[in-house]
C-alpha cells in the first residue's frame, strides 16, 4: 500500500532558505573584496581645501594630477607629487579648466582626468547582483518543474498500483475477464505439419480430461510445457488447440506484460494470474515470449524487478499443492531457449520441452490446404508443387503467401487465384517488391547484368546448389537485380561442401564485376556479409576448418571468441578462405566466359530470364562444348 505524503511546499521553502542563507554568507566576502579593490574616499583620507588654497598649490607646481567630475557637480580631486589627495569645490568649472590649461601651456606638467560619475567597479557590482537574482529565479523554476514531474511520476505509480490491485490485495476484475478465453473453436484438426508435436500434447489432453486414470498409476500431470522454435512455426496455435481439444479455460499472457520498472508489480501480476488459474482449474496458462521474464538472472541493480518477477514465477510453478494443481498446465513459448534461466528449465517446472520445427514438404501441403479453405483457386493450382517450391517456409509464411496471392488476384481482376498470382506473391515475399519504374543508366544495367549472371553461372557449376528459378536486372526491394533460387529438397543438415559452394556462388557476382567490368561496386556488399558469416560459423562454431580443427566457440565460450588474440586469427583465416572462394568463382567464369557473355547479353535484352530458358541455354552450351572436345 502506497501512503507516503510529501509536502512539496515545505520542502521548497527549506531549499529556498538554504539558498538565501548561502547568499547571506557569501555576500560579506564579496563586499569586503570589493572594498579592498576599490576603497572609498573616506578610507583614503582625502583632505578638503578651499578654492584659493587649491589655486595656490597648483601655482606652486605641487600638483601632478587633477580629476574633474563629468557630471553637473563642481567637485574636483587634486593629487600632489607625493600622492596626497585633496578635494575642492570649484566656483566655476569652465574657469578652472581654462586656468589649468594656461598652467600647462606655461610648462607645468599636470595630468587632467575626466572622472566618471559611475565607476566600472560599481557597474560590475550591479551586474553581479543582477546575475545573482537571475540564478535565484532559475533555481526556483527548476525546483518547481522537478516537483511537478515528481508529482506526475507518483500519480502514475499510484494509478499503476490501483490498476494492479495492490492497494487492497484484490484482483482487477476487468483484466481477469480478458484472460479467461476458451478457444473451443480451435483444435488439433486446425493444425497441420506438426504431427510429432501434436502427439506429445495429446497425452496432456487426455490427462486434463481423465486425471483419475493417471492418478491411479501414481502419475502426475506435467506442470509446464515449453514450446521452442523459430518464429511462425505455430507455437501459440498449438497452445490454443491444446485448450480447445481438452475443453478447458485458456489464460493467455505475454512475457512483456510482467515487465515493469516498479519493483514488485511484475511479481504481483504473476500471483494474480496463478490465483485466477486456481479458480478456473482445469485450465491452461499460456505465456508467450517467456524469455522477456525468464532470461538468466544477474546481480545488477538494474535487474532487481526482473529477478523478483522470475523468482515469483519459479515459486508459483514449484508451489502447486496436489489439490490445487490438478488440471493446471503452464504452456510457454520462446524463440530463444538458450537465454532462459536454468532454474526455469528443471524438471518440476517445465517438465516437457517440445521443439516446434519447420514443416516438411508434406506438412507444408497440409498447411496450404487448411489456409485455402475460404479461398477460390483455379483447377490448375497444385498445392503439392507449391509445397515443393517453398522449402524453409514456416506456417505463418505459407498463410501469408496465400493471402498475398489473394490480393494479387483481386488486383489483377481474376475470379479465382491462379498460378501466376501465387508466383507473383512468392516473388514479392522472397525477393521483394518489383521496381518496374526504376530507370538505370546503361552502365548500371550492364554492371547488374554481369553481376547476376555471375551468381547464376557459378551456381550452375556447383553440384550442391539450388536450381536457378529466375534472374533479373529489374530492381526488387532494395536491390538493383536478383537471382532467385528454387529449393529442390528439404534439408535437415548442411554439409561442409554445400557451405563452401554456397560461398563460391555468393562471390560469383563480385568476381564477374572484376572480370568483365574491370571494377567492383557496392552491390556485392550483402553477398560479402553473408559469405563472411558462413565462413566464420564454419570455423568458430561448426568446426569445419582444417587449420582451427574441430572446435566450437559458441555458447559459454563466446567471450573467448571475441578476445583480441582469437579474433585476430579468426579474421585472417576468414579472409584467406574468402579469397580462395573468390578465386574459384573467377576461374569458373574465365573458363566459361563465352556462356557468361551470352547470358548477360540476353539478360540486357529481356531484363528477366526464367529458369527453364536458362537450363536450355546451359544444356546447349554443355553439348556444344562436349562436341568441340570430342572433335
Higher pLDDT, 524 or 170: 524
Kindly report which listed range (103-117, 446-460, 537-551) carries the lowest average pLDDT score.
Answer: 103-117
Higher pLDDT, 563 or 100: 100
CATH code for position 408? 1.10.8.60
State pLDDT tens for residues 267-289. Answer: 888 888 888 888 887 888 898 88
Q: Is the dihedral of CA 459, 464, 470, 472 positive or negative?
A: negative
Angle at 546 between CA 543 and CA 552, to 5 degrees: 20
Q: Is the dihedral of CA 443, 444, 447, 449 positive or negative?
A: negative
Within a domain: 277: yes
Q: Do both 581 and 624 map to the same domain?
A: yes
Q: Do both 478 and 521 map to the same domain?
A: yes
Distance of alpha carbon 452 from alpha carbon 81, whole angstroms: 99
State pLDDT tens for residues 406-426. Answer: 999 999 899 999 988 998 888
State pLDDT tens for residues 300-341. Answer: 655 667 778 888 888 888 765 544 456 788 899 988 888 888
Q: Do both 108 and 194 map to the same domain?
A: no
CA atoms within 13 A on the CB side of 36: 6
Residue numbers annotated as active site:
452
Q: Is the dihedral of CA 472, 478, 479, 483 positive or negative?
A: negative
Q: Look up the pTM and report it.
A: 0.62
State pLDDT tens for residues 562-620. Answer: 666 777 888 899 999 999 999 999 999 999 999 999 999 999 998 889 989 999 999 99
Within a domain: 416: yes
Q: Do both 475 and 425 map to the same domain?
A: no
CATH code for position 241? 3.40.50.300
User: For the chain, what is the mean pLDDT?
Assistant: 79
Residue 256: the pLDDT is 80
pLDDT above 90 (res 388):
no
Instruction: List Cα–Cα distances, 26 to 32, 128, 359, in angstroms.
Output: 10, 12, 79
Q: What are phi and psi of 234, to 5 degrees?
A: 105, 30
Strand, helix or coil for residue 53: helix
Q: Domain count of the chain?
A: 4
pLDDT above 60 (res 205):
yes
Angle at 607 between CA 606 and CA 612, to 5 degrees: 70
Angle at 262 between CA 151 and CA 343, to 5 degrees: 175
Residue 359: the pLDDT is 87
Within a domain: 585: yes
Q: What are phi and psi of 36, to 5 degrees?
A: -70, -35
3-state helix vs strand vs coil in the chain, percent to 5: 60, 10, 30
State pLDDT tens for residues 174-183. Answer: 343 445 555 5
Q: Do both 421 and 464 map to the same domain?
A: no
Higher pLDDT, 134 or 420: 420
Cell of 267: 511479481
> Are 421 and 408 spatial neighbours (Cβ–Cβ below 8 Å)?
yes
CATH code for position 498? 1.20.58.760
Chosen domain end from 325, 355, 385: 355
Q: What is the extent of the structural domain holding 222?
A: 173-355
Strand, helix or coil for residue 590: helix
Chosen domain end from 413, 430, 447: 430
Mean pLDDT of 67-80: 72
pLDDT above 70 (res 1):
no
pLDDT above 60 (res 443):
yes
Kindly report which listed range (348-352, 364-368, 538-542) carries the lowest average pLDDT score.
Answer: 348-352
Chosen domain end from 386, 403, 430: 430
Q: Do both 489 and 418 map to the same domain?
A: no
Percent of the chain with pLDDT over 70: 78
Residue 182: the pLDDT is 55
Angle at 272 between CA 270 and CA 273, to 5 degrees: 65
Percent of the chain with pLDDT over 90: 17
Q: Do both 448 and 396 map to the same domain?
A: no
Within a domain: 129: no
Amino acid at each position: 500500500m502506497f501512503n507516503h505524503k510529501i509536502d512539496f511546499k515545505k520542502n521548497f521553502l527549506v531549499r529556498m532558505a538554504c539558498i538565501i542563507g548561502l547568499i547571506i554568507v557569501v555576500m560579506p566576502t564579496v563586499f569586503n573584496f570589493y572594498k579592498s579593490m576599490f576603497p572609498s574616499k573616506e578610507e583614503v583620507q582625502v583632505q578638503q581645501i578651499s578654492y584659493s588654497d587649491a589655486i595656490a598649490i597648483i601655482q606652486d607646481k605641487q600638483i601632478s594630477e587633477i580629476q574633474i567630475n563629468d557630471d553637473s557637480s563642481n567637485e574636483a580631486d587634486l593629487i600632489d607629487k607625493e600622492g596626497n589627495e585633496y578635494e575642492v569645490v570649484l566656483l566655476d568649472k569652465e574657469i578652472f579648466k581654462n586656468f589649468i590649461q594656461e598652467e600647462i601651456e606655461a610648462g607645468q606638467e599636470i595630468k587632467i582626468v575626466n572622472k566618471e560619475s559611475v565607476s566600472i567597479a560599481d557597474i560590475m557590482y550591479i551586474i553581479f547582483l543582477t546575475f545573482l537574482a537571475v540564478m535565484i529565479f532559475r533555481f526556483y523554476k527548476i525546483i518547481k518543474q522537478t516537483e511537478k514531474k515528481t508529482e506526475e511520476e507518483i500519480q502514475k505509480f499510484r494509478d499503476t498500483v490501483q490498476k494492479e490491485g495492490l492497494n487492497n490485495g484484490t484482483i482487477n476484475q476487468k483484466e481477469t475477464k480478458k484472460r479467461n478465453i476458451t478457444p473451443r473453436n480451435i483444435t488439433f484438426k486446425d493444425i497441420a505439419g506438426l504431427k510429432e508435436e501434436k502427439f506429445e500434447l495429446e497425452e496432456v489432453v487426455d490427462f486434463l480430461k481423465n486425471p483419475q486414470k493417471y492418478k491411479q498409476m501414481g502419475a502426475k500431470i506435467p506442470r509446464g510445457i515449453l514450446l521452442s522454435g523459430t518464429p511462425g512455426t505455430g507455437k501459440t496455435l498449438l497452445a490454443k488447440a491444446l485448450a480447445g481439444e481438452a475443453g478447458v479455460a485458456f489464460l493467455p499472457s505475454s512475457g512483456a506484460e510482467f515487465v515493469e520498472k516498479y519493483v514488485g508489480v511484475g511479481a504481483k501480476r504473476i500471483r494474480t494470474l496463478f490465483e485466477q488459474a486456481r479458480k478456473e482449474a482445469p485450465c491452461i496458462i499460456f505465456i508467450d515470449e517467456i524469455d522477456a521474464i525468464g532470461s538468466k538472472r544477474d546481480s545488477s541493480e538494474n535487474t532487481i524487478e526482473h529477478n523478483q518477477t522470475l523468482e515469483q514465477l519459479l515459486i508459483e510453478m514449484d508451489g502447486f499443492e496436489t489439490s490445487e494443481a490438478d488440471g493446471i498446465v503452464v504452456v510457454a513459448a520462446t524463440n530463444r531457449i538458450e537465454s532462459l534461466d536454468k532454474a526455469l528449465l528443471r524438471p518440476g517446472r517445465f517438465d516437457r520441452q517440445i521443439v516446434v520445427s519447420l514443416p516438411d514438404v508434406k506438412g507444408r501441403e497440409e498447411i496450404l490446404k487448411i489456409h485455402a479453405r475460404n479461398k477460390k483457386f483455379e483447377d490448375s493450382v497444385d498445392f503439392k508443387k507449391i509445397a515443393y517450391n517453398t522449402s524453409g517456409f514456416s506456417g505463418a509464411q505459407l498463410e501469408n503467401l496465400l493471402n498475398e496471392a489473394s490480393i494479387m488476384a483481386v488486383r489483377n481482376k481474376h475470379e479465382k487465384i491462379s498460378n501466376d498470382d501465387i508466383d507473383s506473391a512468392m516473388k514479392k515475399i522472397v525477393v521483394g517488391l518489383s521496381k518496374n519504374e526504376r530507370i538505370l543508366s546503361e552502365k548500371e544495367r550492364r554492371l547488374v547484368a554481369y553481376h547476376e549472371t555471375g551468381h547464376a553461372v557459378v551456381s550452375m557449376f556447383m553440384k550442391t546448389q539450388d536450381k536457378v528459378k529466375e534472374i533479373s536486372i529489374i530492381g526488387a526491394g532494395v536491390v538493383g537485380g536478383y537471382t532467385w533460387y528454387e529449393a529442390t529438397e528439404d534439408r535437415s543438415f548442411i554439409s561442409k561442401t554445400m557451405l563452401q559452394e554456397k560461398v563460391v556462388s555468393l562471390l560469383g557476382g563480385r568476381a564477374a564485376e572484376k572480370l568483365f567490368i574491370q571494377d567492383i561496386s557496392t552491390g556485392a556488399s550483402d553477398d560479402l556479409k553473408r559469405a563472411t558469416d558462413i565462413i566464420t560459423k564454419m570455423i568458430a562454431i561448426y568446426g569445419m576448418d582444417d587449420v582451427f580443427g574441430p572446435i566450437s566457440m559458441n555458447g559459454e565460450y563466446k567471450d573467448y571468441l571475441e578476445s583480441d588474440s582469437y579474433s585476430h586469427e579468426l579474421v585472417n583465416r576468414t579472409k584467406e578462405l574468402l579469397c580462395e572462394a573468390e578465386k574459384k568463382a573467377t576461374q569458373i567464369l574465365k573458363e566459361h566466359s563465352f556462356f557468361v557473355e551470352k547470358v548477360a547479353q540476353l539478360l540486357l535484352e529481356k531484363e528477366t530470364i526464367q529458369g527453364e530458358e536458362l537450363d536450355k541455354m546451359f544444356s546447349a552450351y554443355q553439348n556444344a562444348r562436349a562436341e568441340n572436345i570430342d572433335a
